[in-house]
Amino acid sequence: MNARQLFDYIGYFEDLWQSNKLAQAENFKFCTCSGIETLQGPLQQFRTAPAFFCVDDTNDGATFRGRNGGWFKKRTVTVFLMHRYNIKSMATYTAALEKCRTLFRQLLTRMLIDEDLLSNEMVYLRTESVLSRELGQYFLNGCTGLYFMVEVAEPIDLTFDATEWQS
Protein backbone atom coordinates (compact mmCIF):
# COMPACT_ATOMS: atom_id res chain seq x y z
CA MET A 1 0.00 0.00 0.00
CA ASN A 2 1.42 3.35 -1.08
CA ALA A 3 0.09 5.96 1.35
CA ARG A 4 0.73 8.71 -1.21
CA GLN A 5 -1.39 7.12 -3.93
CA LEU A 6 -5.12 6.68 -3.34
CA PHE A 7 -7.15 3.56 -4.08
CA ASP A 8 -8.38 3.42 -7.71
CA TYR A 9 -12.10 3.08 -7.02
CA ILE A 10 -13.02 3.59 -10.70
CA GLY A 11 -10.84 0.63 -11.66
CA TYR A 12 -12.31 -1.40 -8.79
CA PHE A 13 -15.89 -0.84 -9.97
CA GLU A 14 -14.90 -1.41 -13.59
CA ASP A 15 -13.55 -4.82 -12.54
CA LEU A 16 -16.83 -5.57 -10.74
CA TRP A 17 -18.81 -4.55 -13.84
CA GLN A 18 -16.63 -6.69 -16.08
CA SER A 19 -16.89 -9.80 -13.89
CA ASN A 20 -20.63 -9.58 -13.11
CA LYS A 21 -22.74 -11.91 -15.26
CA LEU A 22 -25.92 -9.81 -15.03
CA ALA A 23 -24.13 -6.59 -16.02
CA GLN A 24 -22.66 -8.33 -19.06
CA ALA A 25 -25.83 -10.22 -20.04
CA GLU A 26 -27.95 -7.06 -19.87
CA ASN A 27 -25.33 -5.03 -21.75
CA PHE A 28 -24.67 -2.48 -19.04
CA LYS A 29 -22.17 -0.03 -20.52
CA PHE A 30 -19.40 1.07 -18.16
CA CYS A 31 -18.72 4.80 -18.06
CA THR A 32 -17.83 7.64 -15.72
CA CYS A 33 -19.60 10.91 -15.02
CA SER A 34 -18.99 14.00 -12.91
CA GLY A 35 -22.01 14.02 -10.64
CA ILE A 36 -25.71 13.47 -11.12
CA GLU A 37 -26.07 16.85 -12.81
CA THR A 38 -23.82 15.97 -15.70
CA LEU A 39 -24.06 12.23 -16.38
CA GLN A 40 -22.30 12.98 -19.66
CA GLY A 41 -21.06 9.42 -20.08
CA PRO A 42 -24.50 7.80 -20.36
CA LEU A 43 -26.01 10.71 -22.23
CA GLN A 44 -23.36 10.45 -24.97
CA GLN A 45 -24.25 6.79 -25.44
CA PHE A 46 -27.98 7.03 -24.64
CA ARG A 47 -29.16 6.02 -28.10
CA THR A 48 -26.94 2.98 -28.46
CA ALA A 49 -26.67 1.41 -24.99
CA PRO A 50 -29.59 -0.19 -23.15
CA ALA A 51 -28.09 0.15 -19.66
CA PHE A 52 -25.35 2.01 -17.83
CA PHE A 53 -22.96 1.28 -14.99
CA CYS A 54 -21.66 4.75 -14.27
CA VAL A 55 -19.06 5.65 -11.63
CA ASP A 56 -18.89 9.26 -10.49
CA ASP A 57 -15.32 10.49 -10.97
CA THR A 58 -15.81 13.20 -8.36
CA ASN A 59 -16.30 12.54 -4.67
CA ASP A 60 -16.72 14.18 -1.31
CA GLY A 61 -13.94 13.48 1.12
CA ALA A 62 -12.43 14.26 4.46
CA THR A 63 -9.01 13.89 6.01
CA PHE A 64 -9.12 12.70 9.61
CA ARG A 65 -6.93 11.30 12.35
CA GLY A 66 -7.70 7.73 13.33
CA ARG A 67 -7.82 6.35 16.84
CA ASN A 68 -4.22 5.17 16.56
CA GLY A 69 -2.99 8.68 15.60
CA GLY A 70 -2.52 7.93 11.89
CA TRP A 71 -4.07 10.08 9.17
CA PHE A 72 -6.73 8.81 6.79
CA LYS A 73 -8.50 10.04 3.67
CA LYS A 74 -12.20 9.16 3.54
CA ARG A 75 -14.02 9.46 0.20
CA THR A 76 -17.66 8.84 -0.63
CA VAL A 77 -17.95 7.06 -3.96
CA THR A 78 -21.18 7.20 -6.00
CA VAL A 79 -22.22 4.61 -8.58
CA PHE A 80 -25.24 4.97 -10.89
CA LEU A 81 -27.02 1.90 -12.30
CA MET A 82 -29.46 2.93 -15.03
CA HIS A 83 -31.53 1.01 -17.55
CA ARG A 84 -33.61 2.21 -20.49
CA TYR A 85 -37.28 1.28 -20.89
CA ASN A 86 -40.22 1.96 -23.17
CA ILE A 87 -41.88 5.11 -21.76
CA LYS A 88 -45.28 3.85 -22.93
CA SER A 89 -45.05 0.65 -20.91
CA MET A 90 -45.11 0.49 -17.12
CA ALA A 91 -44.11 -3.18 -17.32
CA THR A 92 -40.81 -2.31 -19.04
CA TYR A 93 -40.18 0.41 -16.43
CA THR A 94 -40.70 -2.09 -13.60
CA ALA A 95 -38.48 -4.67 -15.30
CA ALA A 96 -35.70 -2.13 -15.91
CA LEU A 97 -35.75 -0.94 -12.29
CA GLU A 98 -35.76 -4.53 -11.03
CA LYS A 99 -32.62 -5.30 -13.08
CA CYS A 100 -30.88 -2.34 -11.44
CA ARG A 101 -32.02 -3.46 -7.99
CA THR A 102 -30.75 -6.97 -8.62
CA LEU A 103 -27.40 -5.72 -9.90
CA PHE A 104 -27.06 -3.47 -6.84
CA ARG A 105 -27.73 -6.41 -4.52
CA GLN A 106 -25.13 -8.50 -6.36
CA LEU A 107 -22.56 -5.70 -6.18
CA LEU A 108 -23.19 -5.29 -2.47
CA THR A 109 -22.65 -9.00 -1.84
CA ARG A 110 -19.32 -8.78 -3.68
CA MET A 111 -18.30 -5.63 -1.79
CA LEU A 112 -18.95 -7.48 1.48
CA ILE A 113 -16.43 -10.13 0.39
CA ASP A 114 -13.96 -7.55 -0.94
CA GLU A 115 -14.16 -5.52 2.27
CA ASP A 116 -11.99 -8.09 4.06
CA LEU A 117 -9.61 -8.53 1.13
CA LEU A 118 -9.10 -4.79 0.70
CA SER A 119 -8.53 -4.24 4.41
CA ASN A 120 -5.41 -6.39 4.03
CA GLU A 121 -4.19 -3.64 1.68
CA MET A 122 -5.26 -1.00 4.24
CA VAL A 123 -8.19 0.12 2.08
CA TYR A 124 -11.36 0.19 4.16
CA LEU A 125 -14.56 -0.23 2.18
CA ARG A 126 -17.32 0.84 4.58
CA THR A 127 -20.09 -1.62 3.70
CA GLU A 128 -21.88 -1.40 7.04
CA SER A 129 -23.84 1.59 5.72
CA VAL A 130 -24.30 1.85 1.93
CA LEU A 131 -26.82 4.52 1.05
CA SER A 132 -28.94 4.13 -2.09
CA ARG A 133 -31.72 5.99 -3.85
CA GLU A 134 -33.95 4.97 -6.73
CA LEU A 135 -34.16 7.49 -9.53
CA GLY A 136 -37.79 6.90 -10.47
CA GLN A 137 -39.79 6.77 -13.66
CA TYR A 138 -39.23 10.33 -14.81
CA PHE A 139 -35.56 10.86 -13.96
CA LEU A 140 -34.40 10.70 -17.59
CA ASN A 141 -36.80 10.27 -20.45
CA GLY A 142 -37.03 6.50 -20.87
CA CYS A 143 -34.31 5.63 -18.34
CA THR A 144 -34.61 4.63 -14.68
CA GLY A 145 -32.40 3.07 -12.06
CA LEU A 146 -30.69 3.89 -8.80
CA TYR A 147 -27.48 5.13 -7.33
CA PHE A 148 -25.58 4.07 -4.26
CA MET A 149 -22.83 5.63 -2.18
CA VAL A 150 -20.12 3.80 -0.30
CA GLU A 151 -17.29 5.20 1.78
CA VAL A 152 -13.67 4.26 1.20
CA ALA A 153 -11.08 5.13 3.87
CA GLU A 154 -7.36 4.61 3.58
CA PRO A 155 -4.21 5.81 5.31
CA ILE A 156 -2.36 8.76 3.83
CA ASP A 157 1.18 9.94 4.34
CA LEU A 158 1.26 13.44 5.81
CA THR A 159 4.95 13.36 6.66
CA PHE A 160 6.43 16.83 6.22
CA ASP A 161 9.07 16.95 3.48
CA ALA A 162 11.23 20.10 3.58
CA THR A 163 12.39 19.52 0.00
CA GLU A 164 8.88 20.35 -1.21
CA TRP A 165 9.23 23.93 0.08
CA GLN A 166 11.34 26.86 -1.06
CA SER A 167 12.42 28.05 2.33
Q: Render pLDDT for 61-115 as a digit per residue (tens, 0 to 9).
A: 899 998 888 899 999 999 999 999 998 889 999 999 999 999 999 999 999 999 9
pLDDT tens digits for range 4-31: 678 899 999 999 999 999 999 999 999 9
Q: Is the pTM of this model over 0.75?
A: yes
Which domains does the chain carry? 9-157 (3.30.2000)
Pairwise CA distance, residues 31 & 13, whole Å: 10
Give CA–CA dist 113/139, Å, rounded.
Answer: 32
pLDDT of 51 above 70? yes
CA separation for the pair 51, 73 (Å, rounded): 32
136 pLDDT exceeds 90? Answer: no
- CA-nearest of 75, 92, 71, 72 to 144 is 92
Burial of 141: CB neighbours in 10 Å, binned 0-12, 13-18, 19+: exposed
How confident is the prediction for the chain on average, in pLDDT?
Answer: 88
**The pLDDT of residue 122:** 86
Contacts of 126 (CB under 8 A, 6+ apart): 150, 151, 152, 153
pLDDT at 89: 86
pLDDT at 167 over 80: no
Q: Of all residues in the chain, what percent carry a pLDDT higher than 90? A: 57
What was the pLDDT predicted at 120?
Answer: 77
Instruction: Check residue 45 and give its pLDDT.
Output: 66
Alpha-carbon dihedral sign for residues 107, 108, 109, 110: positive
